[in-house]
Amino acid sequence: MVTETAPPAKAHRPARHSPPAFNLRRLAIHCGLAIVALGFVTPLIIVLSASFSSESAITDNGYSPLPQRFSATAYRYVLGDPGKIVQAYGVSILVTVTGTIVSLTIMSMLAYTLSRNDYRLRRPLSFYVLFTMIFNGGLVPTYILITQYLHLQNTLLVLVLPYVVTPWYLLLLRTYFSQLPKDIMDAARIDGAGEWRVFTGIVLPLSKPALATVGLFVMLLYWNDWWLGLLYITDDRLAPLQLYLYRILTNIDYAASNSQLAGTTIAIPIQTVRMAVAVLAIGPIVAAFFFIQRFLIRGIALGGLKD
């Protein structure tokens, strides 16, 4: 009797995938993002390069990523009085740090209040905030209020208070707070936590990306502001950095235009001084960005606004 034996089963081999196509697509995406990033970084490199170039090289050859005929003349013009620029840096740093902390504290508390659906004055208060985004009192009434009634001229408070509550950033925080899980907050209230405990112990720790993002925007707002100083600061000791650099540019342009009208030629490095001013103005903010960029990336999409 002959017995038929079944052919041995073939060993199961895992299906081969084709990683090259996936890697090629990933490489293409990375190359595209690298090109975009290079497009953003190139202007900064050109500005830095031009600040260390000679005025004649820029006039003859234009701007380039590398310094042409290396020269620090522009920085000697800007840093001619080191004491004043250090003082201006101190004023800007003090105003920026104080304003950012105060602004985040007040806006986060107000945004949490507006995010509560059971708050009876939620809609009227939201309307009041939105109204200020559309209408304001005007420049002349605001100037009279600050100088004649509040007496804030030539004080550091006049550089801080106008930006303490920015409606757009307030609405961003309110939207983020309204999307936080309500179950955790209800559980904390059942355990006996008050609203302040819920806000400081649950809402703020869960909102670090939003707070870091809004904090960076507020920091930029305070650091780059020169308009308030131009209106309300006449004391040179209280001039912020941006106002101090603005006055340097104004004086250089005025000197250059007067020399041309008088028929004389004064070698003033106008173009390189402008680049040096830009480097001194944005340098600290660029350095601060690297410390909070991970929070900025996580919090840049705060969601759409909703009632």
Q: How confident is the model at residue 107 (pLDDT cuts 50, 70, 90)?
A: very high
Shared domain check, 59 and 139: no
Shared domain check, 123 and 40: no
Shared domain check, 176 and 40: no
Asked if residue 3 is part of any domain, the answer here is: no
- pLDDT at residue 164 greater than cutoff 70: yes
- pLDDT at residue 195 greater than cutoff 80: yes
User: The tokens of 103 are what?
Assistant: 């602004």
Look at residue 155 in the predicted model and tell me its pLDDT. Answer: 93
Look at residue 232 in the predicted model and tell me its pLDDT. Answer: 94
Backbone angles phi, psi at 7, to 5 degrees: -60, 140
Range scoring the smallest mean pLDDT among 3-7, 54-58, 114-118, 157-161 = 3-7
Asked if residue 162 is part of any domain, the answer here is: yes
Look at residue 1 in the predicted model and tell me its pLDDT. Answer: 45
Asked if residue 15 is part of any domain, the answer here is: no
Asked if residue 156 is part of any domain, the answer here is: yes
Q: What are the angstrom distances between the C-alpha of 62 and each of 51, 56, 190, 272? A: 13, 9, 69, 11
pLDDT tens string 272-289 = 888 888 888 887 777 777
- The residue with greater pLDDT, 253 or 36, is 36
Q: What is the CATH number of the domain that holds 127?
A: 1.10.3720.10
Shared domain check, 251 and 142: yes
Look at residue 35 in the predicted model and tell me its pLDDT. Answer: 92
> How many domains, in total, are found in the chain?
2
Q: Can you tell me whether residue 137 is helix, strand or coil?
A: coil
Average pLDDT, whole number, for the chain?
A: 82
Look at residue 300 in the predicted model and tell me its pLDDT. Answer: 55
Shared domain check, 110 and 52: no
Residue-number span of the structural domain to which 102 is assigned: 84-299
Asked if residue 26 is part of any domain, the answer here is: no
Whole-number Å distance between alpha carbons of 122 and 89:
40
Q: What percent of the chain has pLDDT over 70?
A: 85
- pLDDT at residue 303 greater than cutoff 70: no
| Domain final residue pick, 71, 95, 115 | 71
User: The tokens of 185 are what?
Assistant: 């907050």
Look at residue 288 in the predicted model and tell me its pLDDT. Answer: 74
